Amino acid sequence: MKLLRVGASGAEKPALLDPEMALRDLSQIVRDFDEETLSPAGLQKLAAIDWKNLPKVQGTPRIGPCVPRPLNFVGIGANYKDHVAEAGIPIPDEPLVFLKAAGSHCGPNDDIRLPRGSTKTDWEAELALVIGSKAQCVSEEAALDHVAGYFVCNDLSERAFQNERGGSMIKGKGCDTFGPVGPWLVTKDEVADPQSLGVWLEVDGVRRQSGNTEQMIFGVRKLISHVSHFFTLFPGDIISTGTPGGVAMGMKPKPMYLEAGQTVRLGVEGLGEQTHRVVQG
């Protein structure tokens, strides 16, 4: 299934993208993609519905973030060898974990707002996942049992805030609009192998990132298990799994960071695309 949320910011309603690429209203079936809906039993209930009997969503509403704002929006840094190389840092011995602030969470086509004082806002196309059942100290073997589905994330980063303002990752990772997710959540039964998905990003039509999740240093199973040994992951929590090479920070001879007026497009194979205008916040 491809699940999404449509409507004005803060008033999104649950919907389904049917096999004919039409939007179907789920608001009479579930309240939202909350703990109950994202659970194995909840997704099984949705899968049993005949989508032809669901009313179509009228018009062309805004697509919001594919899951409600999570308790924990987890990011993973330095998780592709080519990205580590371009950053000039050693390959980590274990996953580099950080959290993104609540205000970073937004829709897949919402504007990217450059924060005041920003000079080095960067892009990061990533595979993300949402937790469907509570994960606490889970094994790598059982890790995927806790996944509800996968989607696209742009883990935007203000590099000056991140690296030059006291060494706190969240300063550069948690800015408003710096975590667009979606357009839709693809349930895990439709993703045969999360370690074999193409990841790409363009700025003003120029391809900047082209990678594949098979290039991850730490795979999805490892990431879920690792994070769950430090804090509990709750249903609805997001893990964004890191970005391949091709970010602005690594450009030679001079980085070309995002500027107001630009357009960013990105996607993950089988999970849809995002398109954003860059505006001054």
Whether the CB-CB separation of 93 and 133 falls below 8 Å is answered with no
In a domain, 61, yes or no: no
DSSP state of 9: T
In a domain, 198, yes or no: yes
Same domain for 199 and 143? yes
Whole-angstrom distance, CA of residue 66 vs CA of residue 200: 19
Per-residue model confidence as pLDDT tens digits over 22-33: 999 999 999 999
Query: What confidence score (pLDDT) does residue 169 get?
Result: 87
Query: What confidence score (pLDDT) does residue 87 get?
Result: 87
Strands 112-114 and 273-280: parallel
Whether the CB-CB separation of 72 and 231 falls below 8 Å is answered with yes
In a domain, 62, yes or no: no
Predicted TM-score (pTM) of the model is 0.97
- pLDDT level of residue 196 (50, 70, 90 thresholds): very high
Same domain for 81 and 48? no
In a domain, 63, yes or no: no
Tell me which residue range forms the domain holding 10. Answer: 2-53
Q: What angle do CA 79, 251, 82 make, to 5 degrees?
A: 25
Q: Is the pLDDT of residue 161 over 90?
A: yes
Number of folded domains that form the chain: 2
Query: Mean pLDDT across the stretch 254-275?
Result: 98
In a domain, 99, yes or no: yes
Whole-angstrom distance, CA of residue 182 vs CA of residue 151: 5
Same domain for 124 and 92? yes
Whole-angstrom distance, CA of residue 157 vs CA of residue 269: 23
- pLDDT level of residue 62 (50, 70, 90 thresholds): very high
Query: What confidence score (pLDDT) does residue 224 get?
Result: 98
Q: Is the pLDDT of residue 168 over 90?
A: no
Same domain for 161 and 122? yes
Helix or strand run (H / E) with residue 226:
helix 220-228
CATH assignment of the domain containing 165: 3.90.850.10
In a domain, 64, yes or no: no
Map residue 26 onto helix, strand or coil: coil
Same domain for 138 and 99? yes
